[in-house]
Structure 1
Amino acid sequence: MAVRPSLAYFPSDNALLDSSGLPWGVAVTPFSSTDERGSSPVTGDEGDLIPRCTSCFAYFSTLCSLHRWSWTCPICSEDNDLSADAAARYARDGSHDPPELRSAFVDLLLPGEEGEAAAATTPVYVAAIDLSSSEEFLELVKSALLAALEALSPGSLFGILTFSSKIGLYDVQGPIPIVKNVFIPPDSDGTLHVDLKDVMPFCSFLAPVGTFKDRIAEALETVKPIASWERATTASQVQDHALHHTRGFGVAIDALVNYLSVENGTTFELGM
């Protein structure tokens, strides 16, 4: 993981942050192979031994304040007790410290339970496509998605969602690909008037790649940028907020995550 701040120095408190007027923020790349300094992660196989905060469940790390029999969580400031084994683990000298004390960037393995069978999981991929982009950019997006489609395993599930001033859900499992649209209200507060699960059944949205690869490709080829007349209509409806409502990114992603969370209470991993 790589963490890169927008500024070299951070405000010490909220009051200073608000009064500075500076664009303070942090860019996080969670799946980076190196950290922000280009260093590889420290590895280990004792992930099950790392203490977790009793309040926010954050893992112990080099950012925590470590005491003899306790540690303080840097995220929520909760004071957590250390077990005798954990206290002994962190009482070592610097040359034999465990991975989580040697670096803030660690990859640790979690052992499986005795007799635990490997759970069969089905990879799920969703392409969320922004139709407010230019035609040239959209062609690049479609080319990238078609190339990625060829690399997916036949057992994967794939769904297509488009967004602009409306959200489109694609069903590619019929004779021809069809799309059902949900319009984003101009005065939307971040929510839709109808849930996506009521627009299209979950099993219709996600199609097996092995069976419907050609139809998925056909559906991707039909994706076009938002029409000029639709831009004009949307602009006349929302006036100075036209760009926000034409793109609809936040509303679309929030609705998509909620949509994928309804299946047995499980949130699927997204590839966008």
Structure 2
Amino acid sequence: MKLDFTLKRFPINGRLKEQSGLPFSCVLQPYHRLPEKETSAGDASGTRSNSIARCAQCYSYINCYCVFDTAGWVCSLCNRHNALKPQQQKRYRLDPTVLQELPEVRSEVFETLAEDPIPVPMPALEGSPAAQQDPGYVSGPAPVVVALVDTAAGEEFLELVRSSLEAALEALPPVTRFALITMSNRLGLHDVRASEPSVRYVSLLEPQLRPGASAAAAAASSPAVACPLSDVMPLSSLLAPVGSFKGAITRALEENMVPEQGFGETSDAEASGSGAAVGPSGAPGQEAAMSRNSGGDAAPGGGVGARSGRSGGGHLPAARGLGPALVAVLDYLKVLQSPAFASVKTPDSEGGLSGHGSGASAAAVVGADHLSQNPSPVKLLLFLAGVPDFGVGRLV
């Protein structure tokens, strides 16, 4: 790897950099062949990367631009003084002769061995006894990918999103936990662990303006959703391992991710009288899945408030509440940064449950559902079709 800077000296702070008016930048060439002299000087292949000192503030590695003193070294990037840890004192003895022999100190570019990766066991294959016993079990700090999709949009936009997410599913490691959340003037939590993929909806709220209070104060004091998302569906039930539930996730993308009811309508649209067909009682906020192919007919195992059609029916036109959606989803994901809860059996799990989505599995999982004690890396994918026009952060 080759790293070239436009200048050999750097300003001590950002203010001085702006005043200089000079283009400070660098060119990074990861696979550039270095001259033999530089290659030999920067050969640290016999050293593990965790043995090389790093800055306690910016985490940059020690390098040839750092300044050493009797108490430690000064980071060349953030100017923080770092004391040498006891295990580092043997390597970084304050002897100029010894220091100049270290590859990371004498060369601008050095190569070292990375730390051994932490092995993450693969999930059980679909249909195997282990998968039937607990289809959601994944051990280790599995990565988490959450897709937040704007459904206040047309079918053409959603088809592009489906193609993108299906391609991403093929590229993701099987241990990745995936969640699908749709957004308009309500949030839809897609339960793909159930025998029939379903959606549970939670209404987003506009901030309540009070006399004399600013809009910012109203937004900070008003809830973003009608009820916490964790009360509607535990995060452990929403997250599904890609290796075991890829088919169910794909089916949810194809059948349940549809344009929001009322998309393209105006607020003064007349009610068509279709009404709401109430199905069997289910979990709070749960609605039956609506297929693109069936024109909105309720899927088996319907829930509360399943509409008989995809548009019309006396409802408000679809809106785009990006602000409250982000507030609710980010608050929902906080559990991933907390210590994991244990997986337990509920009293009803032995007798079997029905009609409550993922709660019908033989091993009812609560809390963080086998999440590692280490914080899981989370990626939030946002697919936005237009300008936010509802709730906190609305632009129109």
Q: Partner residue of 1:56?
A: 57
Q: 1:200, CA displacement in angstroms? A: 1.4
Bigger mean CA deviation after superposition, 136-145 or 184-193: 184-193
Q: 1:90, CA displacement in angstroms? A: 7.7
Query: Is 1:37 aligned to residue 28 of structure 2?
Result: yes
Q: What secondary structure sits across from 2:148 in the alignment?
A: strand
CA gap 1:65/1:93 in 2 versus in 1, 3 angstroms:
closer
Q: Partner residue of 2:234?
A: 201
- Checking the alignment, whether the CA contact within 8 Å between 2:141 and 2:374 is kept in structure 1 is no
Amino acid at match of 1:198: D
Q: What secondary structure sits across from 1:71 in the alignment?
A: strand
Task: Write the distance in 2 (CA, Å) between the matches of 1:107 and 1:248.
Answer: 45
Q: 1:205, CA displacement in angstroms? A: 0.6
Task: Write the distance in 1 (CA, Å) between the matches of 2:54 and 2:333.
Answer: 27
Q: What secondary structure sits across from 1:130 in the alignment?
A: strand
TM-superposition CA deviations, 1:116-154 (whole Å, max 9, x none): x95642634423233066653432221121133245555
Give the alignment partner of residue 161 of structure 1, picking from 159, 181, 193.
181
Task: Write the distance in 2 (CA, Å) between the matches of 1:75 and 1:163.
Answer: 41
- Checking the alignment, whether the CA contact within 8 Å between 2:146 and 2:181 is kept in structure 1 is yes
- Checking the alignment, whether the CA contact within 8 Å between 1:66 and 1:72 is kept in structure 2 is yes
Task: Write the distance in 1 (CA, Å) between the matches of 2:332 and 2:240.
Answer: 16
Q: Partner residue of 1:80?
A: 82
Percent identity over the alignment is 27
Task: Write the distance in 2 (CA, Å) between the matches of 1:255 and 1:230.
Answer: 32
- Checking the alignment, whether the CA contact within 8 Å between 1:48 and 1:111 is kept in structure 2 is no
Task: Write the distance in 1 (CA, Å) between the matches of 2:182 and 2:65.
Answer: 42
Task: Write the distance in 1 (CA, Å) between the matches of 2:141 and 2:158.
Answer: 28
Give the alignment partner of residue 224 of structure 1, picking from 240, 251, 258.
258
Bigger mean CA deviation after superposition, 57-66 or 139-148: 57-66
Q: Partner residue of 1:7?
A: none
- TM-score, normalization: structure 1? 0.62
Amino acid at match of 2:168: A
Bigger mean CA deviation after superposition, 183-192 or 155-164: 183-192
- Checking the alignment, whether the CA contact within 8 Å between 1:122 and 1:157 is kept in structure 2 is no
- Checking the alignment, whether the CA contact within 8 Å between 2:143 and 2:175 is kept in structure 1 is no
After TM superposition, the structure 1 = structure 2 runs for residues 190-269 of structure 1, keeping only pairs within 5 Å, are 192=224, 195-221=228-254, 222-225=256-259, 227-229=263-265, 245-246=321-322, 250-251=326-327, 254-255=330-331, 257-262=333-338, 264=340, 266-269=374-377
Aligned residues: 241
Q: Partner residue of 1:127?
A: 146
Task: Write the distance in 1 (CA, Å) between the matches of 2:113 and 2:267.
Answer: 49
Structure 2 unaligned residues grouped into runs of 5+: 4-9, 33-41, 122-139, 208-217, 269-318, 341-372, 382-396
Q: Partner residue of 1:188?
A: 219
Q: What secondary structure sits across from 2:179 in the alignment?
A: strand
Alignment RMSD (CA, Å):
4.9
Please tell me whether Structure 1 or Structure 2 has the larger radius of gyration of its CA atoms: 2
| TM superposition outliers: structure 1 runs of 4+ over 6 Å | 14-19, 104-107
Task: Write the distance in 2 (CA, Å) between the matches of 1:110 and 1:16.
Answer: 38
Structure 1 unaligned residues grouped into runs of 5+: 4-9, 27-34, 233-241
Q: 1:171, CA displacement in angstroms? A: 1.0
TM-superposition CA deviations, 1:212-237 (whole Å, max 9, x none): 332211211222355345999xxxxx
